[in-house]
Amino acid sequence: MSKSSTPTASPKAEHSDVVLVTGMSGGGKSVAMHALEDAGFFCVDNLPAELLLDFLRLEQQRGKRHVAIAVDVRRAGSLPLLLPLIKQLRTEGVAVRSIFLDANTEALMRRFSETRRPHPLRQDQSSLGAGPQDDGEDQHRALLDAIALERELLSALRVESTVLDTSQLRPAQLRAWVRDLVVVDGTALTLVFESFAFKHGVPSDADLVFDVRVLPNPYYDRELRPLNGRDAPVAAYLEAQPEVSLMLGQIAGFLATWLPSYAADQRSYLTVAIGCTGGQHRSVYLVETLARKFADHGQVLKRHRELDAR
């Protein structure tokens, strides 16, 4: 940070709307930043943490209200400074929203393989004593080690952020989800309901996970199979099942009981993931119904991971 005589006070909240985009290399930061740029944000990539306060002061003078800053492990030496700065800004009333883009190791490995880009933490093979023609196994192991190290370096930042699991997301989905996140009031708890298919894995960004595979499945009705939980015939079928009403009431009751405690814990987002086998009927219906039940909560988002991917 600057050591000049310029005052070091943080930017005022009324002049700032700051989104910090961080996460795993290959997690989708470029896609997210493009979405924010399209939404009217002034975007800066790979800003050193040491320059954050000075940069925000400058943007305040220029009158810019929406700023998005991408920070990743390329600035590993600055990472220890980042969390204290974020907490300082929030304490002083600056609305800073940190979005952490995560993905499972298999997805990250695949993306690096497809793009043939080197991981920023991958060590030079020559420094490891490997020959210039190191085989595929060595390269695979080096990439795995780099991803594991990156997870460790970013773990504290992940805890303080809103996490998006991009493992199963298409770029269009990610752009839409990021836009949804930045339009809500970051000072109040946002309740996110997300449907998913267990066969494609549990979303790593979920705070609460409910398994509804025990409920009657519309998939086995030939007429309902091609439909989804947003369609009236599927909703009518599920509403007629006593088990569905019981499950729905218990989930709603749990959330109603504990939402005040989650809000008091100063969380920005609470993601409630509802999973069934295919992510098409039961989980979608419950997400739609719960979102309506909690509409008066103030800030509610809906996501359908499998449906949105089509």
Report pLDDT digits (tens) over 38-97.
888 889 998 888 888 888 888 877 776 689 999 888 777 778 888 888 888 888 778 888
CA distance 66 to 57: 13
73 annotated binding-site participant:
yes
Average pLDDT, the chain: 85
pLDDT at 246: 98
Residue 93's SS3 state is: coil
Q: Is 72 known as a binding-site position?
A: yes
Enter the tokens of residue 291: 């979102």
Which of these, 207, 176, 175, 174, lies nearest to 193 by C-alpha position? 207
**Count of Cβ atoms closer than 10 Å to residue 266 Cβ:** 9
CA angle, residues 38, 30, 43, in degrees to nearest 5: 50
- Residue pointed to by tokens 């009333």: 93
Beta bridge partners of 66: 17
Strand order in the sheet with 300-304: 208-211, 269-276, 190-197, 300-304
What are the residue ranges spanned by the domains of the chain? 17-122+139-180, 188-309
Contact 26, 170 (CB under 8 A): no
Check whether 247 is labelled as a binding-site residue.
no
Best mean pLDDT range from 16-20, 48-52, 107-111: 107-111
- Is 131 annotated as a binding-site member? no
pLDDT-derived band at 298 (thresholds 50, 70, 90) equals confident
pLDDT at 128: 39
Q: What is the pLDDT of residue 126?
A: 38
Q: What gap in Å lies between CA 94 and CA 17, rounded to an integer?
A: 8
- Known binding residue 29? Answer is yes
Q: Which of 6-10, 228-232, 296-300 has the lowest mean pLDDT?
A: 6-10
Task: Please state, in angstroms and rounded to a whole number, the distance separating the CA atoms of residues 22 and 24.
Answer: 7
User: Rounded distance, CA 106 to CA 63, Å?
Assistant: 43
Q: Which of 1-10, 144-153, 181-190 has the highest mean pLDDT?
A: 144-153
104 burial via Cβ count (<10 Å: 0-12, 13-18, 19+): middle
Distance CA 155, CA 24 (A): 10
Question: What is the reported pLDDT for 135?
Answer: 63
Most confident of 14-28, 64-78, 182-196, 225-239: 225-239
25 known ligand binder = yes
> So what's the pLDDT on residue 217?
97
The answer to the question of whether 129 is labelled as a binding residue is no
pLDDT at 132 over 50: no
- The predicted-structure confidence for 175-220, as pLDDT tens digits, reads as follows 999 988 887 766 678 899 999 999 999 998 899 999 999 999 999 9
Q: For the domain bounded by 17-122+139-180, which CATH number is listed?
A: 3.40.50.300
pLDDT for res 113: 85
Task: Identify which has the larger pLDDT, 103 or 181.
Answer: 103
Most confident of 46-60, 127-141, 290-304: 290-304
Q: Confirm or deny that 135 is annotated as ligand binding.
A: no
> DSSP letters along 42-80, please?
EEEES--GGGHHHHHHHHHHHT--EEEEE--GGGGGGHH
What burial class does residue 52 get, using C-beta atoms within 10 Å of its C-beta: 0-12 exposed, 13-18 middle, 19+ buried? buried
Residue 77 annotated as lining a ligand binding site: no
Q: Confirm or deny that 28 is annotated as ligand binding.
A: yes
